[in-house]
Structure 1
C-alpha cells in the first residue's frame, strides 16, 4: 500500500468520524481548533525543512554508503556518456569560457535491472552532490494540485539541503518517470496527471546556470515511448543515456563484482557462466550469484562450485524445483521429449547442450538448456530454421517412440510459429520482402505452415536412425533425473555412432 493511498484512507476515516460526531450532536469546535493547531505546527516544521516530503528519499554521505562508477559493471559505454555530461557540472568555470550550457536533465533508458538507479547514485558521488530520490508514482493522487505541490517541494528541498550541507550541487532522481511524464491528454477524466507534468516542465525551465545551488534532474524509465515530447526536447532532458543489457564481457565483469565477497571453488569460470547467461541483466546476475551461494549453504559447503552456479542459472531462468512429480508414464514421456530436443540440438550444433533434466521447475515438467557460443543479435535463416527444428524435435520424438504426441509440446509449437513468422517479416521466406500488416492472414498462415512442415520432415528423417539411442538415454535420464551436456554427449557417442549433420539450408 502506497503512502498516498494511506493518506487518502486516513482523510476519509477522519471525515467520516467528524460526520459521526456531528450526527450525534457533539460540539466539534474544540476538535477543529486542536486539529488546526497541529496542522499549523506541521506546516511550520515542513517549511523549515524539518519534515521530509512524502516519497522523497534523501541520501547524503552521512547515511548511505557511497556508490562509485567502479561498482557498476557491464555498462562502460553508458558510464562514459554519463560522465561526460557530469563533467559539465564539475568543470563549470571551464565550460563557461567555451559557452557551453550545462545540462538540466539526463534520461536513463533501458530494461529493468540494468543498473539505472545505481548509475544515478554514482553520478551524485562523482559530482559531490546531495542526492534525493523518488518515483513517479509518488506525485499522482486523486486530489487536484497535490502532485504539482510535491514537484515544487521536491526542487525546493534539494536546494535547501544542498545549502545546509554547504554543497553547490544537488541531484534529483525520479525513477519510473513514465508514470509522471506520460503524454498529456491521455487521462481526460483525471487532469491531475497533466498538472503535475506541467509543474515539472516549469521547474526544469527555471533551472539557472548562475544559481548558488545547481540542480540536475536524472530520470529513469523502460518505457520512453510513453513520455510526453515536451520532456524529451533539448533544454529539458538534454542527454539520453541508453543503459542496455550487458554483453558477454560485461556479464563477466558484473559477476566478478558480485562474487568479490564469496568464496569460489577453483572449477568456477566466470567467463563460462557469462557465456551461458545471454539476456541476463545486472539484477539477474546478482540474484544468480546469491542463489549459487544459497545452494552451497544448503549443502554445508564452504565454497561455491561450478555445479552450484549451473543450478542457480536454472533457477533464475525457470524457477525453483517443484514438489509435484508426474506419474511413471508421464515422466517417461517427458524424458523422451527432452531427449529429442537435446539430440536435435547436438545434431545441428555439436556442443550446444548445457543441461538436460526432467525435474519440474516453474511451468515446465522438464527442459533442455542450450549454451550459446556467443552473444547473437542478428539471426540468419539457417539459425532460425535450426531453432525451429529443435522446438519441433520434442513432439516428433514422442511420436517416434509412442506413436502419438502430447499437450506438453504446445509451448514449443508457439515458439516455432513465432520463429517462422520472424522469417517471413524479415523477408527470408518465399513471399520476399513484405509487411506483416499488409499480408493477408490466410497467406501468412499458409507460409508458416509450409516452413513448419519442411522442418518437420528434416527432423523426422534425422531422428529415425537414433531411435535405439533415444530409448537408452531416456532410461538413464529417468534414473538420474539430470544430465550435463558433457554426459549427454558421451552417451550419444557411445558405440562410435557419430551424429549426422542435418542441412537446414
Structure 2
C-alpha cells in the first residue's frame, strides 16, 4: 500500500469538530516503490524511490490551512449547503487579501469546481456586473461564492442581500495553528501553543513555516521567528515601560490595567470589549504621547499613530486626499488588529475644529473630515477587533462634543505637570538612565517643581552637553545649573519677588487654600510663581472670594513692604478679575441671576456693561482691603517665608505650613477658614 493510500485510511486525527465530513485530500500520485521497470535515457535503471511522506498527501501547506479554515468556518450545515444543488450564495469574510486566493481554491475543491468564485480584494465590482454573475450562477444551478476581507465595503448590496450564508474566517489562533501542525506532521503535535505565538502572521507566513519533513519543534521555531519579524517594526523598541513612569496619576493605573487586559485578550481569556478607550488631555510636554508608547511597549502590541497634520503632509491636502488617507489608516488598523491587539494613537485631536464653535469658516471642508473621523471611530468600535484607542489633546475644551460623547471614549484623563517632588524625581530618573544613580535629586526636584516632562528632558540634555564640553562624566551640579541657573537679577528685585510670592502662600494658607509650592525662579515673563489649588469643582462664593484675596495678597505686599505697586502683579489682577466677574455674571452668586458672561471664562465683553463693570470694580476693591489687612497681620510669617525663598529659591507645601504655624498672625482667623489640620 502506497503512502498516499495509507493516508486515506488514517482517521482525521484532530478533526472530529469538522462534523465527520471528509476533507479533499489533493493526493499526489505515489511513486512506485517496487522493482523498477523503467530505464533512464542512458539505459540505466533508476534507484528505488522512498515512500512519499505523509505531508505529500496535500498539494501544499497553504492548501491544507485553507481547507481546514473553510470547513471550520462553514460547519456541517454550511458544507452541505455549498455542495447542494440549490445554487446557494455564500459570502466568506477573510482576515486579509492574502487569504483570498487560498480560500478560493478551497471553495473550488469543496464544490468540485462547480461554484462561481468572486474575489473582492479592494474595489467593489459594479452592481450590474455582479447581478449578471449572480443570474448566471442561478441559471446554471451553480453556487456563487464571494470572498472578501471587507464585504460591507467591497461587495455590492445586491450580492449581500441575496446571500444565503455569510461566514467569517478568523485570524490565526493557537488552537487552529496546532490543528494544522498536527495534520501536516501527522502526529499528536504541540500542546503549548499560545495566541501570542501566531499573533500577526498571515496565511503565507504560517504556510512558509511548514516545510516537508520538518519536526514540530522546527515548525514552531519558524513560526515564532516570523511573529518576531512581523512585530518588531511596529512595537516601540525604545522608551520607558509603564512601571518606570511616574506622575500620571489615575491615567497610569488605567494604562497598567489595559496592558493586563491586552494580555488576557491575546491569550483568549477575555473579549476585546474589555479594552477601554481613553482621551488624555493636558498642557504641552506633560508626556501624553509617552504614556501611549509606554502602554504599547508594556503590552507588546503594535502602535499605529496618526494626527491631523499627517493627513495633510502625506498628500496634496485636498479634501479627497485627506479622506483617502483616513481610509488608508482605517484599513491599516483593521488589518493589524486582525492578527492581535493593537494600540491606535490619535494625536493632536484638538486640531480638528469643533462644529459647535460657531465659526463657519471652511465648514464645507471640515464637516466631511470630522464626519469621517467619527465614522472611523464608530466602525472600529463596532468591528469587535482587539483595538485600544487613545487620543491626546492640549485643549480638551476645543474638541467637538460628538468626539467625546459616551460610546466613543470611555475614560478622560487630565495630566498636569507634577506637583510632588517624588514624581519629578521619577521623571528625572527615566531621562537620566544610569547617570547620577547614587545622587540625591531632592533639591533638583524642589527647584524644578512645576516643570513638564519635556522640560525635564531638556534639562538632562543640557546637563549632558555641559559634561561633554568639560570632557568628564555628568555631575549633579551640571543638572542643577540647567534647572536653576544663577539668578542675575539685582538683590532688591529678588527680595521684592520673594515677599510677593510669600504673601500669596501665607494668605492662601490662612484661608484654607492648598498651596503646592512657591518659587522665585524666573520663567519667561514671570519673576516667580505660587501654585494655588481651588478647593472644589463647584466653589461657593466664599471660596471664590478667598481665592481672589490670595491672588491680591502679592500686590498688597508690594505696596506694604516694597516700593509700591508695580507691573509684576498683572497676571494676579487678571485672574482675580476673572473670578469676580464670573461670580457676578455667570454663576449667579452676586446680586443678580442673569448670566452675561460665557461659562468658559476669559471673555472681557462684560466690560461694555457699565453696571457689571462697576460691580466688579467695587468688589475687587473690597477684597483688596481684606488682602491688606491679612498681609499686615502676617508680616512675620511672610518675612520668614521670603527669607527661605531667597535661600532655597523653592519651598514646598510642608515648608509653607511649618512657617505659617511657627509665626501666628496678629488676628483671629475665622474657624471656617482655618487650614485643615
Quickly name the TM-score band, shorter chain normalised. Answer: 0.5 to 0.7
Unaligned runs of 5+ in 2: 1-230, 511-515, 537-542, 598-610, 652-661, 670-677
Question: 1:260 matched to which residue of 2?
Answer: 433
Question: 1:283 matched to which residue of 2?
Answer: 454
Are 1:304 and 2:461 matched, yes or no?
Answer: no
Are 1:94 and 2:269 matched, yes or no?
Answer: yes
Are 1:198 and 2:383 matched, yes or no?
Answer: no
Instruction: Specify which of 217, 228, 239 is matched with residue 400 of structure 2.
Output: 228
Residue 437 to residue 59, structure 1, CA distance change in 2 (3 Å)? farther
Residue 421 to residue 311, structure 1, CA distance change in 2 (3 Å)? farther
Instruction: Specify which of 157, 169, 193 is matched with residue 332 of structure 2.
Output: 157
Following the alignment from structure 2 to structure 1, what is the Cα–Cα distance between the partners of residues 581 and 363?
A: 43
Q: How many residues are matched?
A: 391
Counterparts of residues 39-188 of structure 1 (less than 5 Å): 60=233, 64-65=237-238, 67-85=240-258, 87-92=260-265, 93-96=268-271, 101-103=273-275, 105-140=277-312, 143-160=318-335, 167-180=339-352, 182-183=354-355, 186-187=359-360
Q: TM-score, normalised by structure 2?
A: 0.46
Following the alignment from structure 2 to structure 1, what is the Cα–Cα distance between the partners of residues 491 and 409?
A: 58
Q: TM-score, normalised by structure 1?
A: 0.60
Q: Return the structure number with greater relative CO, CA threshold 8 A, min gap 6.
A: 1
Secondary structure, counterpart of 2:238 in structure 1 = coil
Residue 415 to residue 180, structure 1, CA distance change in 2 (3 Å)? closer
Residue 277 to residue 418, structure 1, CA distance change in 2 (3 Å)? same
What's the CA shift for 1:448?
Answer: 0.8
Question: 2:58 matched to which residue of 1?
Answer: none
Are 1:449 and 2:629 matched, yes or no?
Answer: no
> CA offsets per residue over residues 402-458 of structure 1, 9 Å max, x none?
xxx57xx2131541463476478679xx96998884882101101212222443466
User: Do the aligned partners of 1:341 and 1:394 also contact (CA within 8 Å) in 2?
Assistant: yes
User: Do the aligned partners of 1:355 and 1:484 also contact (CA within 8 Å) in 2?
Assistant: no
Are 1:337 and 2:496 matched, yes or no?
Answer: yes
> CA offsets per residue over residues 156-189 of structure 1, 9 Å max, x none?
22344667xxx42333212012223633784453
Residue 377 to residue 223, structure 1, CA distance change in 2 (3 Å)? same
Task: Compare 102-111 and 169-178 and name the one that shifted more.
Answer: 102-111
Secondary structure, counterpart of 2:553 in structure 1 = helix
Following the alignment from structure 2 to structure 1, what is the Cα–Cα distance between the partners of residues 342 and 498?
A: 59
Following the alignment from structure 2 to structure 1, what is the Cα–Cα distance between the partners of residues 493 and 404?
A: 51
Secondary structure, counterpart of 1:285 in structure 2 = helix
What's the CA shift for 1:485?
Answer: 3.8
Following the alignment from structure 1 to structure 2, what is the Cα–Cα distance between the partners of residues 355 and 76?
A: 24
Secondary structure, counterpart of 2:392 in structure 1 = strand
Between Structure 1 and Structure 2, whose CA radius of gyration is higher?
A: 2
Unaligned runs of 5+ in 1: 1-57, 326-330, 400-404, 475-481, 489-497
User: Do the aligned partners of 1:102 and 1:209 also contact (CA within 8 Å) in 2?
Assistant: no
Following the alignment from structure 1 to structure 2, what is the Cα–Cα distance between the partners of residues 424 and 209?
A: 46
Following the alignment from structure 1 to structure 2, what is the Cα–Cα distance between the partners of residues 341 and 222?
A: 30
Instruction: Specify which of 418, 422, 439 is matched with residue 575 of structure 2.
Output: 418
Question: 1:390 matched to which residue of 2?
Answer: 554
Are 1:237 and 2:401 matched, yes or no?
Answer: no
Secondary structure, counterpart of 1:191 in structure 2 = helix
